[in-house]
Amino acid sequence: MTRLGETLLALAGAAAVLALAYAVPWLRFVLTIALAKGLAVLGILLLLRAGQVSFGHALYLALAAYGIAFGTMAVPEALVLIPGAALLSGLVGLVIGLFVVRYREIFFGMLNLALSMVFYSVLEKFYAVTHGADGIRLGPVTYLGRPLAGEAAEWAVLAVALGLALAFGALVRVALASPLGEALAGIKTRETRLDFMGVSPRRVLLAAYVASAVMAGCGGAIIALTTRHVTPAIAYWTTSGELVFIAILGGAGSVLGPFLGAAAYELTRVYAAALVANAWQMVLGLVLLAVIVFAPGGLWGMIARRRPA
């Protein structure tokens, strides 16, 4: 699909999100969460381009979410907290990245999983600080110095999430078309060739890894500001699995895929839960199976196939 086509689709999607959030007030929350998860999946998409799957990106979601939860006690300004939380995730991503980019495929995935579960245990074990599974309730937050609550705060978070989604979407779109993006694809096809060209695959993967940590951090920050309550469940491996699930559902062909997947995932989940409260997991499973069987390229794949560029 052409750049213009994708831009128009992205803007149409953003308009649709705003329209839906206006018309159906309770969906505002669901859509904000979907955008937040979409941001994190966008980071995973970068790694997928290099053929690597991380089963531990919930670590960065949780780092940022807890960063926000503790941060509100000191600085209650959202527009300071969000970059701060993303920076925290990015820095930790850099340190962890130095180790994990030495590994590939299943080892890469499992090492990430292990580290995220270490953080989960820390959140549970340091009970006096984190309140364990009960979690931390966020204090009041200001946006540009204005204390917002209720509906105004919901709109503010949604606007921030939408802005971040568009900005990072554009950034990743550019990055994937740049030499860095091509090098990432090179890691997937044959890594040694990169070495021969004088490009360090580790450094390329590290850059992508840190970027993905920052994006997951932004997602985690949005989730914390939306739910206003953080628990260790956000660091659990099922959350990481969810992100990979969304990546598959949305398709890795375009930067729109993660957001499409996240919206489809969240909407399927709430509607399934509303219809069959005790079997919603089955509905979700069947949807994923259907996507794998009938649309191996994910939801984006279905769209792109219908509208060849």
Instruction: Name the segment binding other proteins (CB under 8 A); options: 19-27, 79-87, 112-120, 290-298.
Output: 19-27
Q: How many residues does the chain have?
A: 309
Q: What angle do CA 22, 66, 232 make, to 5 degrees?
A: 95
Which residues make Cβ contacts (< 8 Å) with residue 84, sequence separation at least 6? 67, 71, 75
Total number of residues binding other proteins (CB under 8 A)?
Answer: 40
Q: Segment near other proteins (CB under 8 A), from 41-49, 105-113, 119-127, 246-254?
A: 119-127
190 part of the interface to other proteins, by CB under 8 A: no
Nearer to other proteins, 252 or 256 (CB): 256
Among 4, 144, 197, 274, binds other proteins (CB under 8 A): 274
Dist. CA 266–CA 271, nearest whole Å: 9
CA distances from 81 to 58, 117, 164, 186, 224 (A): 19, 25, 14, 36, 11
What CA–CA distance (Å, rounded) separates 218 from 161? 8
Contact mark string toward other proteins, 22..41, x via CB under 8 A: -xxxxx-xx--x--------
Q: Is 7 in the site for other proteins (CB under 8 A)?
A: no
User: Can you say how many angstroms the Cα of residue 260 is from the centroid of all Cα atoms in its chain?
Assistant: 12
Which of 4, 149, 197, 293 is in the footprint of other proteins by CB under 8 A? 149
271 binds other proteins (CB under 8 A): yes
Q: 61 or 183, CB closer to other proteins?
A: 61
| Between 201 and 232, CB nearer to other proteins | 232
When binding is defined by CB under 8 A, the residue of 270, 288, 295, 302 that contacts other proteins is: 270
CB burial class (10 A; 0-12, 13-18, 19+) of residue 294?
exposed
CA 295 – CA 270 distance, rounded (Å): 22
- The minimum distance between CB 281 and other proteins, in angstroms, equals 7
Q: What secondary structure letter does DSSP report for 253?
A: S
Between CA 160 and CA 157 the distance in angstroms is 5
Q: Does 132 bind other proteins (CB under 8 A)?
A: yes
Residues in the site for other proteins, rule: CB under 8 A? 20, 23-27, 29-30, 33, 124-125, 127, 131-135, 137, 149-150, 223, 226-229, 231, 233-234, 267-271, 273-275, 277-278, 280-281
